[in-house]
């Protein structure tokens, strides 16, 4: 297969598997999505979805969040990990949203990335899922799969994002980044990988990846 044919095969397979794409993190608006994505750093979506109802019951707007202390937020979110940094980030960004953005999440990459504890990936998820702006946030699943599929050298997430944006049509980015995440979880995980169930890697995968798997 040519690279173009591999891309087409990947996109068709993902669309066939995931014609409707659920958003992994539970939320009701851009603000709660922003908080949920922030909490998901080095945690799992399942764990975050158990904690956010407890947090949002207390505060689901910037106005309510700043009424809590950093320690109160930290106590609630402790199970997701990195709670000292995340609680300060949530409290701090809530103040900034009120002071600089009329209490609303900005629809702007630069403004989002200027918020405490909000990195490029978090900003990309919010722009894509809350506002429908084309973005290709790269998580561990996307980073792993684009390497396995030979679409990126996998040296770092910045390069992986650049490669993904170069290969895939812009209008498909928002769907594809979610489809690849779901595919990675179900068919091509980091651990417990069963290549016979992983049709994309089995069909187009990097030779070195397939050989390494055969040796196991």
Alpha-carbon span 116 to 108, nearest angstrom = 15
Pick the closest to residue 4 from 135, 137, 166 (CA basis). 166
Looking at every residue in the chain, the average pLDDT score rounds to 95
Alpha-carbon span 182 to 189, nearest angstrom = 10
* Active-site residue list: 121, 139
86: three-class secondary structure by DSSP: helix
Q: What is the mean pLDDT of residues 21-43?
A: 95
Give the pLDDT score at 215.
61
Alpha-carbon span 41 to 199, nearest angstrom = 29
- pLDDT band with cut points at 50, 70 and 90 for residue 211: confident
**113 and 119 in contact (C-beta within 8 Å)?**
yes
- What confidence tens digit (pLDDT) does each residue in 175-196 have? 999 999 999 999 999 999 998 9
Helix 83-100 to helix 70-77 angle (10° resolution) is 130
Model confidence at 78: pLDDT above 70 = yes
Within 10 angstroms of residue 4's Cβ, the number of other Cβ atoms is 9
Residue 188 φ/ψ, nearest 5 degrees: -140, 60
Alpha-carbon span 184 to 207, nearest angstrom = 19
| Contacting residues for 78 by C-beta, under 8 A, at least 6 apart | none
Within 10 angstroms of residue 170's Cβ, the number of other Cβ atoms is 10
Alpha-carbon span 136 to 213, nearest angstrom = 28
Model confidence at 212: pLDDT above 80 = no
Give the chain's length. 216
- What confidence tens digit (pLDDT) does each residue in 129-176 have? 999 999 999 999 999 999 999 999 978 999 999 999 999 999 999 999
HSE of 172, CA atoms in CB hemisphere, 13 A: 17
Please tell me the least confidently modeled range out of 27-31, 172-176, 204-208: 204-208
Q: What is the mean pLDDT of residues 105-131?
A: 97
**39 and 31 in contact (C-beta within 8 Å)?**
no
Structural domains of the chain, ranges and CATH numbers in brackets = 3-21+137-215 (1.10.1670.10), 30-131 (1.10.340.30)
């Amino acid at each position: 297969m040519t690279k173009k044919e591999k891309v087409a095969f990947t996109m068709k397979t993902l669309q066939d598997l995931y014609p409707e794409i659920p958003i992994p993190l539970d939320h009701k608006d851009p603000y709660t999505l922003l908080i949920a994505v922030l909490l998901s750093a080095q945690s799992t979506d399942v764990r975050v979805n158990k904690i956010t109802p407890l947090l949002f019951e207390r505060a689901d707007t910037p106005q309510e969040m700043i009424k809590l202390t950093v320690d109160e937020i930290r106590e609630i979110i402790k199970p997701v990990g990195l709670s000292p940094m995340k609680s300060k980030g949530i409290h701090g960004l809530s103040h900034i949203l009120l002071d600089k953005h009329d209490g609303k999440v900005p629809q702007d990459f630069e403004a989002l990335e200027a918020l405490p504890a909000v990195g490029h990936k978090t900003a990309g998820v919010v722009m894509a899922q809350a506002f429908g702006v084309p973005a290709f946030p790269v998580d561990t699943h996307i980073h792993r799969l684009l390497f396995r599929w030979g679409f990126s050298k996998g040296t770092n997430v910045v390069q992986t994002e650049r490669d993904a944006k170069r290969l895939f049509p812009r209008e498909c980015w928002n769907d594809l980044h979610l489809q690849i995440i779901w595919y990675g979880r179900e068919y091509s995980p980091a651990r417990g990988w069963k290549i016979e169930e992983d049709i994309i890697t089995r069909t187009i995968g990097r030779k070195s990846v397939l050989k390494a798997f055969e040796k196991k």
